[in-house]
Amino acid sequence: MKLKNIKEITGIIEIKTGLHIGGSSDEIKIGGIDNPVIKNPLTNEPYIPGSSLKGKIRSLIEWQFGAMTDDGKPSDITKKDNNSIKIIVKLFGNGGTIKDNKLAKEIGPTRASFADCRLENKEELLDKNALTEEKVEVTIDRFSGTAGGGGPRHMERVPAGAKFSFSISLIEFEKDEDLEAFLALGMKLLELTNLGGNGSRGYGKIEFSEIKGLDEKYLENGKLKSYEELKKLAGL
């Protein structure tokens, strides 16, 4: 196995609808936020953990390949060995569970590494007093059609219009499949679904823009090509 290249894929994640990736709160005050977003403890700025980005893209690729496991855990090549699983574990890893030396050498190290995503337009949001927003949610009574029990819940979100920088390192070895094609496809799947929690309620719509480092055949004006085009490029 010979190292061919290491690419750094960078760009901007534009938040299109309020984003909630949960953090923790030491105390919950009456009338306060029940569900805060994750923040940098030094700056108190929201950020997108690289693990959240990686985990969602991986799960979407698993759905695309029909490689979801019965127990809902990440696909594991030691339990099911086929070409689709090999692509997934090469890109995202197999948790160090491969004991077979021959298979371990064939798979090699995890190719894609996702950095935490830093807020880029902090000053713009602060000017509008909108570093985060509070959204109050209630449960609707099915008979009266009005707000019923089970609420209200106070959700903290990163507002639409926030922008985060992202960076993905992609290791390429000789004789690898075109793993970049599958990474691009996974990113597009994320755009078409949602990042973070409460996607069925409209949260977490995002768009990748100003993309650099990804092969131009996957891009159009710095953004990802359509889902159908990227599927074809990935040979699906």
Q: Which residues of the chain have pLDDT under 50?
A: 26-32
- Whether the CB-CB separation of 201 and 140 falls below 8 Å is answered with no
Structure tokens at 152: 């209200």
Question: Do the beta carbons of residue 210 and residue 219 sit within 8 Å?
Answer: no
Interacting residues of 225 by C-beta distance below 8 A, sequence separation 6+:
188, 218, 219, 233
Spans of all domains in the chain: 3-65+111-233
Q: What is the pTM of this model?
A: 0.89
96, 72, 90: which is closest to 81 by C-alpha? 90
pLDDT tens-digit map of 151-199: 677 889 999 999 999 999 999 999 899 999 999 999 999 999 999 998 9
